[in-house]
A and B are shown apart, each in its own frame.
Chain A
């Protein structure tokens, strides 16, 4: 059974810092891995999708990596801003039903 874990559960950093969020999964047989952002009480915004054949994806200040063999992904945020404050969720897609299995998220606070 696939399980997804995110560390840390919460993180507070001063504005301008670079930071790394971690995601691990137990079954390496995945189609892809996706990182989402969720603002309080809101839906999910997709940030980056990494296919199983890829090692990383970049979008602006965000870079996500994938190491299937070790069951790990990282989300790197460069030059953090207060507007980056949100919960970040990773999810793996491991089956024909396109069912996403989510971690519990990392709550990020960027202090001005």
Chain B
């Protein structure tokens, strides 16, 4: 158990819809990173939030957006869903940025039909 929880565990959406995924970070952690893992691939970095501000972004379009709340929990929002957005979405929390260990949640499996 890492203390990082994600909801929901599974989600089915249709193309063009919008989705919100949630992540509660481990107690005491102020940084949340989001990753997308397509089937058979390694996770790809989407973005990171540190103390409620975006702190780095990977190669993902603007329809992927996020938010971090004062309690350091976080949301990932994806607009105008495409079939290729089907993946396992993982969040990881850490204490600060830099070289600190990231602890991963169990992920949200998103299927876009």
Taken residue by residue from 79 to 112, chain A's Cβ proximity to chain B (1 for < 8 Å, 0 otherwise) reads as: 0000000000101010111111111110000000
| Interface size class, chain A | 20 to 34
Partner of B104, one of A31, A41, A46, A98: A46
Asked if B110 is at the interface (CB within 8 A of a chain A CB), the reply is no
Asked if A61 is at the interface (CB within 8 A of a chain B CB), the reply is no
Q: Which residue of chain B lies nearest to A105 when distances are taken between CB atoms in the complex?
A: B42
Residues of A within 8 A of B88 (CB): 41
Residues of A within 8 A of B41 (CB): 104
Partner of B42, one of A46, A97, A98, A103: A103
Q: Could you tell me if B99 and A98 are in contact, using CB atoms closer than 8 angstroms?
A: yes
Q: Could you tell me if B90 and A49 are in contact, using CB atoms closer than 8 angstroms?
A: no
- Bound-state CA distance A16–B58 (Å) is 41
Asked if A63 is at the interface (CB within 8 A of a chain B CB), the reply is no
Number of A-B pairs whose CB atoms are under 8 Å?
72
Asked if A57 is at the interface (CB within 8 A of a chain B CB), the reply is no
Q: Could you tell me if A96 and B101 are in contact, using CB atoms closer than 8 angstroms?
A: no
Asked if B31 is at the interface (CB within 8 A of a chain A CB), the reply is yes
- Bound-state CA distance A71–B92 (Å) is 25
Q: Could you tell me if B42 and A102 are in contact, using CB atoms closer than 8 angstroms?
A: yes
Asked if A65 is at the interface (CB within 8 A of a chain B CB), the reply is no
A: residues with CB less than 8 A from B are 4, 31-32, 34, 36, 41-46, 49, 51, 89, 91, 93, 95-105
B: residues with CB less than 8 A from A are 2, 6, 31, 33, 35, 40-45, 48, 55-56, 58, 88, 90, 92, 94, 96-107, 109
